[in-house]
Amino acid sequence: MFKKILIANRGEIAVRIIRACREMGIQTVAVYSEIDKEALHTQLADEAICIGPAQVKSSYLNMESIINATLVTKAEAIHPGFGFLSENSKFAKMCQQCQITFIGPSAEIIDKMGNKAEARKTMLEVGVPIIPGSKEPITKAEEGLDIAKEIGYPVIIKASAGGGGKGMRIVYDDAEFINNFNMAQNETMNAFNDNEMYIEKYLVNPRHIEFQILADEYGNVIHLGERDCSIQRRHQKLIEESPSVVIDEPLRKKMGEAATLAAHAVKYTNAGTIEFLLDKDKNFYFIEMNTRIQVEHPVSEMVTGIDLIKEQINIAYGNELKVKQKDVIISGYAIECRINAEDPENNFRPSPGRIENLHLPGGNGIRVDSALFCGYNIPPTYDSMLAKLIVYGKNRDEAIKKLRSALGEFVVQGVKTNIDFQYSIINHPKFLEGDVDTHFVQEYIYK
Ligand code: ADP
């Protein structure tokens, strides 16, 4: 096994990875920006190296600096976590050239699935259902308009390089199309320095259902069932559950097979997620693959008992997957709530600052993944996610009761958080019934 791993990330995911390494007897190296000198990941790792100033491009996105830190500390592998360099094929290639193991798929696979228009093409070729829309990437608004006319409105304009909901626009008729296309393309240029777009039919009130995949270097691919991530605000996930109340065993099998087929199609390795939208008639369509560990991975861990970070490390080391599909048993019910430092009363503006007082909930079936501590100064520079509250019960009803209790107990003073907002979601009758779709928050909680 690896003796030492460098974690090219910060916040709760860096802490999560350090913990997994520690359990595996692997030494850890944290990297931190100047503003993160006191951060928990910096303190918890066996070694810590400053990689630059606070701005991400100078630190957590600074490839040379991170590679240097790895070479200097003689770490054999890099775990990129999520965000930052996790889906950057150039970085994966640099690691390979420096004989450092990148804990994730190869640069080629990242490229193949990272371009969303390309990924749609690949799925079409192998027979994984995709949403009707463009077959090739589009750079001219007029070409997009022709496709929109053909598939019928509403349509969604999306960025090939997209992520985090950026570069997406919903359009309801011809008159709005060109203008919206240009706006989405501008946003895409600004965010990703890329101008390739694609068009999909806009599904009305779908659910977001994704499958967790694990694939080793010997062609073994398994899935760990689904996560229902329909509770979103502005296309960003807020609450994730596993399993989904709308997926029965035959549908799980069918979607799981499509997900493993998708992974096989690109000879995928390591952990990944195949995202689908599910319409009211239970038709499912591929939307994208994420070639990294995801924020919401703990809900799959809770219901399967499989530690995804440890599996990632094992796979990257070249070990064969020990778990076979028949051994994956989904039992109980898990729900995750993302706790963000943001102000729901002020349009969810980030709320950085010092944590003056903190109480994390605990008890049977309660897990908190966070990098918080009392006195911690949340910098304004990074993502506003502070913690993930994950609950596990024997069924959804029990999990919700635990979530209600745990959210009620959760105290973060000094900054504004979305804890009360999350509380209002999980107490809404429609949420309690499990009768939700991706528009639930917008329709019932926050216009
Ligand atoms: P990103 O990578 O930017 O997060 P995704 O393609 O994963 O973008 O889509 C994010 C969310 O946007 C989905 O979970 C869903 O709520 C919404 N969405 C995306 N495509 C469609 C579509 N064709 N129809 C309806 N909703 C969509």
DSSP E strand stretches across 22-91: 27-33, 47-52, 77-79
Summarised one tens digit per residue, pLDDT across range 207-262 is 999 999 999 999 999 999 999 999 999 999 999 999 999 999 999 999 999 999 99
Summarised one tens digit per residue, pLDDT across range 140-191 is 999 999 999 999 999 999 999 988 888 999 999 999 999 999 999 999 999 9
Cis geometry, peptide bond prior to residue 379 (ω within 30 degrees of 0): no
Alpha-carbon span 127 to 262, nearest angstrom: 9
Alpha-carbon span 35 to 381, nearest angstrom: 9
Q: What torsion do the CA atoms of 193, 263, 199, 85 make, to the nearest 10 degrees?
A: -20
User: Domain spanning 207-445 has what CATH number?
Assistant: 3.30.470.20
Q: Which residue has the least CA distance to atom 11 on ligand 1? A: 235
Strand order in 101-102's β-sheet? 47-52, 27-33, 4-7, 77-79, 101-102
Centre of ligand 1 from the C-alpha of residue 287, in Å: 7
**Beta strand 207-215 with 47-52: parallel, antiparallel or unpaired?**
unpaired
Structure tokens at 177: 């199309």
Summarised one tens digit per residue, pLDDT across range 97-149 is 999 999 999 999 999 999 999 999 999 999 999 999 999 999 999 999 999 99
Question: Which CATH class, in words, describes the domain spanning 4-103?
Answer: alpha beta
Alpha-carbon span 342 to 349, nearest angstrom: 5
Alpha-carbon span 356 to 12, nearest angstrom: 19
φ, ψ dihedrals at 230, nearest 5°: -80, -20
Mean pLDDT lowest among 306-315, 390-399, 438-447: 438-447
| CA-237 nearest atom, ligand 1 | 14
Task: Supply the mean pLDDT for the chain.
Answer: 97
Alpha-carbon span 216 to 317, nearest angstrom: 10
- Is the model's pLDDT at 447 over the cut of 80? no
Summarised one tens digit per residue, pLDDT across range 314-356 is 999 999 999 999 999 999 999 999 999 999 999 999 999 999 9
Q: What is the pLDDT of residue 164?
A: 83
> Helices 107-114 & 89-97, crossing angle to 10 degrees?
170
Domain spans of the chain, in order of start: 4-103, 132-201, 207-445
The predicted model gives 51-59 an average pLDDT of 97
Q: Which residues pair with 275 in a beta bridge?
A: 210, 288
The answer to whether the CB of 232 falls within 8 A of the CB of 207 is no
Catalytic residues: 292
φ, ψ dihedrals at 177, nearest 5°: -65, -55
The answer to whether the CB of 369 falls within 8 A of the CB of 332 is no
The answer to whether the CB of 15 falls within 8 A of the CB of 30 is no
The predicted model gives 194-216 an average pLDDT of 97
What is the percentage of the chain residues whose pLDDT exceeds 90? 98
Do the domains 4-103 and 207-445 sit in the same CATH topology, yes or no?
no
The answer to whether the CB of 379 falls within 8 A of the CB of 36 is yes
- Is the model's pLDDT at 414 over the cut of 80? yes
Centre of ligand 1 from the C-alpha of residue 165, in Å: 7
Q: Pick from 393, 383, 411: which is nearest to 241 by CA?
A: 393
Q: Which residues are CB-neighbours of 252 under 8 A, at least 6 positions away?
A: 225, 226, 243
Q: Pick from 94, 118, 100, 104: which is nearest to 2 by CA?
A: 100
| CA-162 nearest atom, ligand 1 | 3
Q: Which residue has the least CA distance to atom 14 on ligand 1? A: 208
Binning pLDDT at 50, 70 and 90, where does residue 44 land? Answer: very high
Measured CA to CA in angstroms, residue 227 lies from 165, 239, 294, 416 at distances of 19, 10, 11, 28
Cis geometry, peptide bond prior to residue 380 (ω within 30 degrees of 0): no
| CA-232 nearest atom, ligand 1 | 16
Centre of ligand 1 from the C-alpha of residue 438, in Å: 9
Summarised one tens digit per residue, pLDDT across range 259-281 is 999 999 999 999 999 999 999 99
Q: Which residue has the least CA distance to atom 21 on ligand 1? A: 202
The answer to whether the CB of 176 falls within 8 A of the CB of 185 is no
Centre of ligand 1 from the C-alpha of residue 41, in Å: 32
Q: Which fold has domain 132-201?
A: Dna Ligase; domain 1 (3.30.1490)
**Mapping DSSP to helix (H, G, I), strand (E, B) and coil, where does residue 356 land?**
coil
Alpha-carbon span 321 to 319, nearest angstrom: 6
Pocket mutation for ligand 1, best pick of 160, 277, 280, 439 (most atoms within 8 Å of C-beta): 277
